[in-house]
Structure 1
Amino acid sequence: MVMNEATDIAFYSVDSQLRAHLHRRMEILENSIGQREEEEDLRGLLTTFFAPLTTSFNVLTSMKKPLFSITADDNFLIVFKKFGEHVFVAVNGDGSESEDFLVRKLHVFNRIIGLLYGPVLGRMNSPNLQQRAMEWKMLDSLLKSYEILYSEEQAFLMEAVEHIVFGQLNAAQDVCISLAEDCLNSSLNGGIPNMKHVLLLVGSKVLAICGRSPQLPTADLLLLILMTTNLYQHDPFLQVTAEKEEENHQQQTPEERGTPYQTPTTSPNIEQPPTAASLPTGAIPIPEGGEGGKRSRVGRDDFPPYKTPDDDIPGIHSLAAHPSKGFGGKLKQAFLGGKKGHLDDGLDPAVFEAAEFQRCMEKFYEKKVFLQLNQSHYTPHMIHCMEIFPQIVIVLISESPSSGLAATICQGLSHLKNILAIINGIKNSSTSSKNMYDTLEDTMKKIIEGSKSESKALGSEQLKQFTMRIVKTWAQCKELQIQQSIDRQQKEEREITKVCNVLEKLVDQLINLFQELYFTPRVAEYDKKAVVSRLMRLSSKLKLDYGDYLGLKARINLPFPGLGMEYPGMVHFAFVDRSFDELTSPTIIDDSVTAYVIDRAAEKEQSPGDFLRSKMWMMVRKAQSYVSNGYSSQTWLDNDFLYTYCMWFSTPNPNLGVPLKMLTPINIKAHPDEPPGVLCGSFYRNIKGGTDGTTPGYINEIYCIHEPRITLDEATRQCRELAISLWMDTKQSLAPFPLIN
């Protein structure tokens, strides 16, 4: 739930259990009133219960005695976090979510809101009931998708991007990169103007990134992956089609449906490499070895042949992972068609092409987003998405016109809010009042000039009126002598209140100007049909030759058993290069674990994948809690595994690199309640780890899980060797710091 300073609810997402609990507490029977009245009644109940708590939180925060959480007698856990003028509240009533996770979820939700609305948070709580319902439904859906991805995908657990490991199949990688480059270059020839980045995604993993400077921030990239996953993985068309395919699949005999990923003579219990005959049309078998038998470094270019499991894995990818849910059948034909351009029912190629074009037009989505680039926290961009094959999505990112003015408006808002905080005594000034006023005056001059120019270019009378109001209010600010208010030279509280009111009015007007500039619908400056047609043509080779293969890679990116032979006793690892926030880790599924994990899972009456996943998630959360307290390495043992975590630093060097001697403990300069990660803030960028307390040039993390029979010395030795191998494979000419002495 999000509440403003007046304790008015700006957003809430309440599950059925809490709804029932609130109604019981207020002795209100469900279904006794209409739907619209019930929603208004629920909003009133939430205000009744939480407004006093939120008010207490605001009072304690103003007294420098912040309240972060409340644990009630009935096991309800309530967590508070203030972002700007809004208080975010998270509630858990059954113990399924810890306080740390609720804090993280609030940080991520605030980041999602910033991506969608920039500084115009009022759009989240529109007075138009229909518009507000649409916005809340979208936010609720994104929040639920994040919870699923956090519980299923290591990339969202550790907040780092996971790229597809192509191994020796460089041809597929070349096609993906070429497609991204062609999409970017095609924007210069009658396509989408001012194209900045192109992403090619499969599920929640990255196939290729191509773009112009500045580089796309990792946090924004993860949020775009979240948006596309939420958009296409929950697609009703796919769900209905998959259900029909599954029903037909179950009604067929084994001889009729066959086994699309396994030859009839192959035992399902024997792991064998797939052959061209056993793979679906267009899929590419995995090569068994590199060129000349030369072995590549562990982690990216070398992984063993694998079978394709027939069972679904739980979570967000289960829809397209099953042979009857996304590969084969009519759903696959909806993307590829039959042999030689015909469907199996004899549909004419021209008819199929027209139907496919219409489907792509309907599945081509656009959305305004605000990226956090260096020049501004809210740089307006437009994303254009199209699914070219089940799970494979192209995302085109174009920068909106007059984005430079958006950066100036955000600077003006930041200066005004900073001055208001100083005048109200909330914070102390680190610069002179004259410098603050001069900076604000210069920024306001740029905003007014830019707004006038835009209103003239767009021919917008509405924008012209907004500009005139800002000019008038800014003139009032200058008359009230803001500089004296900053220095607290005005003794009368009435004068200070008057200054604050005018400044707050100016803040509101700048936000309205931002909304008029970047949320008002404009005429498209490109031909949408031409763009869709071009994307279909450019992606045809990828989906015909490698669509099935990449769909499998989304599910099994890096199998572990072959790597386990290199490091006896190791059952799992994760390596995170924090310089670029990239993750390298084996996929956790039932068919890609060691025999020891299978035995331990059987004793716990769990599937091997779920068992190992729960242990890995527990390890990451525990390691992050220690990192937050300044510890750069940890080892511990439980009844099932030995766990080893280490973070190490290095500075750039033209030759070999210079390792740093780490401080004990490391100096965490981030906000005390800011969780480790990139979605929640700048935790890793604020770590000071050198002997002189400076920021290291490179930060890396490694997580390793071993069987308990392995000694600590052997585990740390393997951990060190694996880290060096993975580091060298990142093409960084740096010498790693000895992990654990």
Structure 2
Amino acid sequence: MNGLIVFNSANDVAYQNLNADLTDKICHIAITQRLMPEGSGSALDSNVLLQIFSPIISSQRIMHCQFDNAYASFQCEQGFNLVFGELLGFTFLKIGQLGIEQLQRQLGVAITLTRYCYGANLFGSQAGAMQQELLTECLNCYETQLCKEEQAYLLEALPKLIINAELKRTVHVTLDASLEQLRQAGGQQRAHALLLVSHKLVALNSTRLALPLAPADLLFLAILARAVQAQKSQRAVAVFLQGVSHDVNSGCVPSIVHISRLHGHQVLLQLIEYGHMPLTSSIYDTFFVLQKIVAVQQQGDADALKPAFESLESFVSQTLTALKRHLKQRHDDLENCIKKFTARWENLRKMYLEFFKSYERELLVRIESNLPAFVEELKQLFTLSLATCDSASNPQLDQLADSAAIVEAKLLEFAEFLAVKAARNISIDAYLEDFPGLVHFMYVNRSTGQMLAPDLRQNNPQLLPKTKLWQMVEFTRSYLKKGQTTVMWKDRTFHYSYFLWFEDLSGGILKCSLDLQQHFLSTGFGSASGNGQKSPAEPGALPMDYYSDLVELCFPKLSPGKVRVYELYCIHLGLVTATCAVEHARRLVATISDVVGEETF
């Protein structure tokens, strides 16, 4: 049994994605409680879900609002568990017969995918059914297939295809030519082109003005390509990418992704960024600041209310300034929306200023009654401003299809070679002579979101059961969350080792002066969610950008873009000593660097 239900601030069901077993279980409970007539089949009405889960959700909100101590999870009989999440006033409830930590990771991924599909206007009526369908496709693909079967999604990093320098240059030149064509013919100044072969990254090219992609963006695009792979060869969807965290315009990058399936297991993704980044970023951040002030009011924290209001006032002012600066031409719907939004803000602002003079409860009640309408106007403003930008950029999908055809033609003679190379990218056999006893390794560049590892299907499952690999990663994550960056242990068969380290751009080792274990023990290590709560940090790219936060914590005086984070997982036969495993790890990194080239990994 596995499923996800999302409730809005009024406890209504905004989204549901339940598998057949969980649907049957809930239907049985509904019939038992006489919420559904017997023999009504397995069609679940959202009102039935509301009546069954409303007590739990209401209790969750009360615990958060009145005690600032919201539930993280419920553990039930027969391994049936529930975990909670929050984003922009929506409560995410993940249900399943998995461990709490596994469910929390899946919930974190679900929340991240929701942000990618909807941006700030979560489950908004303006977004339409297409975004909901896209979210469901991505969720089902990730949960039913990818995270259980492939080490790339276990580690949340995209596999890198190793090819020779000449072919690499040819691919990059071809992608650059396609981007130049988009720039000249369509005026697209901010674009990316990614080439995947058998779900491995061959190349990523970007125009000079494009916002760099975050590691999570790469993984999301890979999931997106997999989720729609059974459909037609050409497809275009609108998504909201994240961008690198150290860029001021990161967080919400409206993009059109055109997916083309080429010859020989090649997939070309062409991304067009649209929208004015300062405007999009301001509106997006305003949603989170607004949710913060709602949470403060619900908790009755008068001391924190004024700083929260001042922050909201600053972001609204930035948004209005960006609207005037970047949207010179506005259609009537957007013009009317801006006027309504400005009027509602002025009214709300006056009420806040009046409240801060007397702190009368009646004024706060008036503010709370006016906030929902203001939120709806902000959502409408977000949608209409992006629609205007989309119309102004006018990306021609036919042009993207033509560009994909040109790329396919230029790479046609290499297609079969790339397909064969992707199937035999890295073989553990090539390393056995220099590293006796080595069974498997996974080398991850967390700064780029890419990884190198032998394919699991090349390993003898009797030699390395897949469950051992999944257990190893889960075990190391539990220690990393405690501040341990080096972990080694043994079982009856294997010797396991894990290393995390930092490097500068020249490849020099960076030493963290902070005692991470003591720091995590005394303060915890979490990320503020949309409602201001602190949530436990989960290592990975999708639930949250854990490694970016780790860099900022360890090296606060360095620019995050100048620090690289690497991880290495090694599995040896149990007879290998710890000293030998450490030496192998050191030489393995040097060997891979020589083979791949530092500039590409």
Q: Do they superpose with TM above 0.5?
A: yes
User: Alignment RMSD, CA only?
Assistant: 3.2
1:15 to 13, 19, 28: 19
Deviations 1:159-204 (A, max 9, x none): 22221011xx434322221221111111122146334211111232
Is 2:488 aligned against 1:614?
Answer: no
Give the corresponding residue for 1:98: 99
Q: How far did 1:138 drift? A: 3.0
Deviations 1:588-614 (A, max 9, x none): 11xx33xxx56xx1xxxxxx6xx5322
Distance 1:499 1:728, change over 3 A: farther
Instruction: Return 5+ residue gaps in structure 1 as ranges.
Output: 238-362, 602-607, 734-741
Contact 1:364 1:384 in 2 (8 A): yes
Distance 1:405 1:151, change over 3 A: same
Is 2:551 aligned against 1:681?
Answer: no
Give the corresponding residue for 2:63: 60
1:387 to 261, 267, 290: 261
Which is helix-richer, 1 or 2? 2
Measure the CA separation in 2 of the matches of 1:135 and 1:529: 22
Contact 1:80 1:88 in 2 (8 A): yes
Instruction: Give the secondary structure class of the aligned counterpart of 2:394.
Output: coil
Measure the CA separation in 2 of the matches of 1:423 and 1:722: 55
Distance 1:421 1:177, change over 3 A: same
Instruction: Give the secondary structure class of the aligned counterpart of 1:382.
Output: strand
Distance 1:532 1:665, change over 3 A: same
One-letter code of the match for 1:416? L
Measure the CA separation in 2 of the matches of 1:229 and 1:717: 38
Q: How far did 1:207 drift? A: 1.0
Q: How far did 1:56 drift? A: 1.6
With structure 2 as the length reference, what TM-score do the two structures score? 0.85
Contact 1:118 1:370 in 2 (8 A): yes
Give the corresponding residue for 1:263: none
Contact 2:89 2:291 in 1 (8 A): no
Contact 2:63 2:71 in 1 (8 A): yes
One-letter code of the match for 1:73? E
Deviations 1:376-430 (A, max 9, x none): 4222121122112253111111121444322232243344333444444466649
Give the corresponding residue for 2:579: 713
Measure the CA separation in 1 of the matches of 2:573 and 2:193: 42
Q: How far did 1:221 drift? A: 1.5
Measure the CA separation in 2 of the matches of 1:511 and 1:419: 17
Give the corresponding residue for 1:568: 436
Give the alignment of 1:10-49 within 5 angstroms: 10-27=14-31, 32-33=39-40, 39=43, 41-49=44-52
Give the corresponding residue for 2:530: none
Is 2:7 aligned against 1:3?
Answer: yes
Give the alignment of 1:215-254 within 5 angstroms: 215-232=212-229, 234-235=230-231
Measure the CA separation in 1 of the matches of 2:349 and 2:61: 31
With structure 1 as the length reference, what TM-score do the two structures score? 0.70
Give the corresponding residue for 1:646: 499
Is 2:242 aligned against 1:406?
Answer: no
Give the alignment of 1:352-363 within 5 angstroms: 363=233
Contact 1:570 1:704 in 2 (8 A): yes
Measure the CA separation in 2 of the matches of 1:457 and 1:483: 33
Identify the range of structure 1 (723-732 vs 368-377) with the bigger mean alpha-carbon deviation.
Answer: 723-732
2:411 to 536, 542, 545: 542
Instruction: Give the secondary structure class of the aligned counterpart of 2:541.
Output: coil
Measure the CA separation in 2 of the matches of 1:21 and 1:504: 35
Give the corresponding residue for 1:442: 317
Identify the range of structure 1 (195-204 vs 665-674) with the bigger mean alpha-carbon deviation.
Answer: 665-674
Structure 1 vs Structure 2: percent identity of aligned residues?
21
Distance 1:662 1:217, change over 3 A: same
Contact 1:195 1:396 in 2 (8 A): no
Deviations 1:38-77 (A, max 9, x none): 63x4433322322211222222223132321112123311
Contact 2:9 2:90 in 1 (8 A): yes
Contact 1:366 1:383 in 2 (8 A): yes
Q: How far did 1:623 drift? A: 0.5
Q: How far did 1:676 drift? A: 0.4
Give the corresponding residue for 1:722: 588
Give the alignment of 1:151-230 within 5 angstroms: 151-166=148-163, 169-191=164-186, 193-211=188-206, 212=208, 213-230=210-227
- Post-superposition, which runs of at least 4 consecutive aligned residues in structure 1 deviate over 6 A? 28-31, 688-696
Measure the CA separation in 1 of the matches of 2:17 and 2:281: 32
Distance 1:135 1:691, change over 3 A: closer
1:623 to 463, 470, 476: 476
Measure the CA separation in 2 of the matches of 1:396 and 1:9: 35
Q: How far did 1:483 drift? A: 4.0
Is 2:336 aligned against 1:465?
Answer: yes
Deviations 1:132-151 (A, max 9, x none): 4x554432221121122222
2:364 to 482, 491, 496: 496
Q: How far did 1:99 drift? A: 1.6
Give the corresponding residue for 1:87: 91
Distance 1:431 1:479, change over 3 A: closer
Measure the CA separation in 2 of the matches of 1:226 and 1:434: 38
Give the corresponding residue for 2:377: 509
Q: How far did 1:2 drift? A: 0.8
Instruction: Return 5+ residue gaps in structure 2 as ranges.
Output: 528-534
Q: How far did 1:479 drift? A: 2.9
Contact 2:570 2:585 in 1 (8 A): yes
Distance 1:60 1:662, change over 3 A: same
Which is strand-richer, 1 or 2? 2
Instruction: Give the secondary structure class of the aligned counterpart of 1:24.
Output: helix
Identify the range of structure 1 (103-112 vs 693-702) with the bigger mean alpha-carbon deviation.
Answer: 693-702
One-letter code of the match for 1:64? D
Give the corresponding residue for 1:348: none
Q: How far did 1:685 drift? A: 2.0
Distance 1:384 1:408, change over 3 A: same
Contact 1:576 1:582 in 2 (8 A): yes
Contact 2:192 2:270 in 1 (8 A): yes
Give the corresponding residue for 2:109: 108
Distance 1:88 1:529, change over 3 A: closer
